[in-house]
Amino acid sequence: MHLTAIRMLALTLCFGVTSAASAQRPTRALLQRTVDSLVANALTEGPVAGMSVAVVRGKDTVVMKGYGLADVENDVPATAQTVYRIGSITKQYTAAAVLQLIEQNRIALDDSLGKHLPSAPAAWRGVPVRQLLNHTSGIPSYTSAGPRWMSRMRLDLPHDSLIGIVAGDTMDFAPGSQWRYNNTGYYLLGMLLERVTNRSYAEVVRDLVAPSGLSATMYCGTRPIIKRRAQGYQVAEGKVVNADPLSMLQPFAAGALCSTVGDLIGWQRALAAGRIVKPASYAAMTTPEGAAARSRYGFGLVTDTLAGKVRVQHGGGINGFNSMLMYFPSDTLSIAVLANTNGPWADRVANNIARAALGAPLVAPPPALVDLPTTAEERARFAGSYRLALPNGRILVLRVFERDGKLLAQGDGQNEIPLRYQGSSVFGASFDPSLRLTFAPGTPAPKIVLLQGGATIDGPREP
């Protein structure tokens, strides 16, 4: 890792806020400098190709700008007008469109899926709309289907073929009994919207955002020309490379929209003000219920706290892009961060911007990674498959394997990750310097412990 003079200056600026701001808000100018330094760190540390950020408090637009490159190959700078894939932030648009239909008495929250999509698999037809909205349906998620999905993720599949990937799978749990993040549920909501409105999902979204003047928010198809569209990247061997291809028909109503940071803030403000759906509908979107309460998930939105303040938020990750949109009602503080590189940086930068804006201490970056050599005996002890129960309720099987004297890890439905040995049976990964994988003593290792994003997860070895 190279500590350039620019990066060292950025660290000095952004972490100076921790002591200077302590329990009070920083000045507007200091907050602007802090945002600049946080993003500068991310661009260097990630590395991240480009990022756009908006910070709005009340009527004051504190920051609205781009950093780095929207297109690395052509040296195109990122700006506030750069259009990014927003991934799962799409879900709140889908939820709002469904709630508009409910307000119009065209569907009901407790309508069964089968009432509107009678061709759905028999085991799914009794699931009510509300359980699709808050991820408590138990319907298996196609993005968790491992190679069955990954081998087809570049294909423009029609609805029945995409749903067919998991149509024959058993339910993850009895509907309404648990919470598990579920892209199939939102894909089905998109199909429902198309059937009830007799319009394409892209047209439904256009009609949803047009009254608020959000012209940069649209379905992010690969064929249309989208002005100021960012290119997407991922990190390999410490450098940005072009992201793996993905058919944009596949994320559909679960994650296929594009937007800008300005449009995201405009959307969030209009939604909270009752200009998209009625206040009672917005309250439903932001009020977790039933099995979703523990995960704090409403309808397309998460309501949690940061720095002691209630926050309404949702992030997104999709090939080549990462995103975060959050709102603090008591401070009328809105933050949008869009990045055109895979990784944790949009979420991490947005969280630290929020802490700075609220006068709370920032979270320091993780220590620099090393890459120590491993012996053949060590690699053989670590290699294997491990079963991780993630905080979102999903079970992730993580396969650790050797290639050319190096260890790599790959989760179901995810890219391969080169592991970097830190010593004492602990590994890190360049895409997220905070991640640590610790292998338990024993030959072979009986389990791993994953530390990421403040969560610690045990993963026993599979037989």
Span 46-95, pLDDT tens digits: 899 999 999 999 999 999 999 999 999 999 999 999 999 999 999 999 99
Q: Specify whether 322 is located in the same domain as 417.
A: no
Q: What is the pTM of this model?
A: 0.85
> For residue 393, what pLDDT is reported?
66
**In angstroms, rounded to a whole number, what is the distance separating the alpha carbons of residues 68 and 337?**
13
Enclosing domain of residue 250: 85-351
Beta 333-339 vs 321-328: how paired, if at all?
Answer: antiparallel
Question: Would you say 125 and 303 are in contact if contact means Cβ atoms under 8 Å apart?
Answer: no
In a domain, 117, yes or no: yes
**In angstroms, rounded to a whole number, what is the distance separating the alpha carbons of residues 108 and 129?**
8
Helices 90-103 and 183-197, axial angle in degrees (round to 10): 40
Residue 339's Cβ-count burial label (10 Å; 0-12, 13-18, 19+) is: buried
The position carrying tokens 């290119």 is 231
pLDDT in tens, 148-171: 998 999 999 999 999 999 999 999
**In angstroms, rounded to a whole number, what is the distance separating the alpha carbons of residues 452 and 125?**
36
> For residue 370, what pLDDT is reported?
86
Q: Specify whether 163 is located in the same domain as 253.
A: yes
Q: Is the per-residue pLDDT at 31 higher than 50?
A: yes
> For residue 250, what pLDDT is reported?
97
pLDDT in tens, 273-289: 999 999 999 999 999 99
Q: Specify whether 382 is located in the same domain as 264.
A: no
> For residue 4, what pLDDT is reported?
23
* Residue where a domain stops, chosen among 351, 368, 394: 351
Mean pLDDT of 428-449: 89
User: Is-cis flag, bond preceding 444, omega within 30?
Assistant: yes
In a domain, 359, yes or no: no
Q: Specify whether 331 is located in the same domain as 452.
A: no
**Percent of the chain clearing pLDDT 90 (strictly above):** 80
Q: Specify whether 327 is located in the same domain as 399.
A: no
**Spatial strand order in the sheet of 333-339:** 76-77, 60-71, 50-57, 333-339, 321-328, 309-318, 302-306
439: β partners: 448
In a domain, 51, yes or no: no
> For residue 453, what pLDDT is reported?
65
* Domain count of the fold of the chain: 2
In a domain, 254, yes or no: yes
**In angstroms, rounded to a whole number, what is the distance separating the alpha carbons of residues 143 and 153?**
9
Of the pLDDT bands very low, low, confident and very high (cuts 50, 70, 90), residue 304 is very high
In a domain, 76, yes or no: no
7 or 299: whose pLDDT is higher? 299
Mean pLDDT of 135-150: 92
> For residue 417, what pLDDT is reported?
87
Enclosing H/E stretch for 85: strand 84-85
Q: Specify whether 115 is located in the same domain as 201.
A: yes
Nearest-5° Cα angle at 160, 157 to 161 = 45
> For residue 15, what pLDDT is reported?
29
In a domain, 427, yes or no: yes
Q: Specify whether 399 is located in the same domain as 325.
A: no
Spatial neighbors of 82 by CB under 8 A, at least 6 apart, are 50, 52, 66, 70, 228, 229, 230, 260, 338, 340
Q: Specify whether 392 is located in the same domain as 328.
A: no
> For residue 391, what pLDDT is reported?
67
Q: Is the per-residue pLDDT at 367 higher than 80?
A: no
Which domain CATH number covers 201?
3.40.710.10
Residue 376, phi then psi, degrees to nearest 5: -60, -35
253 or 144: whose pLDDT is higher? 253
Q: Is the per-residue pLDDT at 7 higher than 80?
A: no
In a domain, 20, yes or no: no
Q: Is the per-residue pLDDT at 9 higher than 50?
A: no
Q: Specify whether 301 is located in the same domain as 341.
A: yes
Torsion of CA 454, 304, 389, 190, to 10 degrees: -130
Residue 455's Cβ-count burial label (10 Å; 0-12, 13-18, 19+) is: exposed
- Helix (H), strand (E), coil (C) string for 100-156: HHHHCCCCCCCCEHHHHCCCCCHHHCCCEHHHHHCCCCCCCCHHHCCHHHHCCCCCC
Of the pLDDT bands very low, low, confident and very high (cuts 50, 70, 90), residue 454 is low
In a domain, 15, yes or no: no
Please report, for residues 72, 357, 359, 362, 432, the alpha-carbon distance to residue 23 in angstroms, rounded to integers and kept in the order given.
Answer: 40, 11, 5, 12, 29
Q: What is the mean pLDDT of the chain?
A: 91
Q: Specify whether 311 is located in the same domain as 388.
A: no
**Percent of the chain clearing pLDDT 70 (strictly above):** 94
Question: Would you say 436 and 430 are in contact if contact means Cβ atoms under 8 Å apart?
Answer: no
Question: Would you say 47 and 239 are in contact if contact means Cβ atoms under 8 Å apart?
Answer: yes
Q: Specify whether 108 is located in the same domain as 187.
A: yes
Which domain CATH number covers 442?
2.40.128
Mean pLDDT of 313-318: 96
Mean pLDDT of 258-272: 98
> For residue 47, what pLDDT is reported?
93
Q: Specify whether 274 is located in the same domain as 231.
A: yes
The token pair at 391 is 């905080």
Q: What is the DSSP letter of 10?
A: H
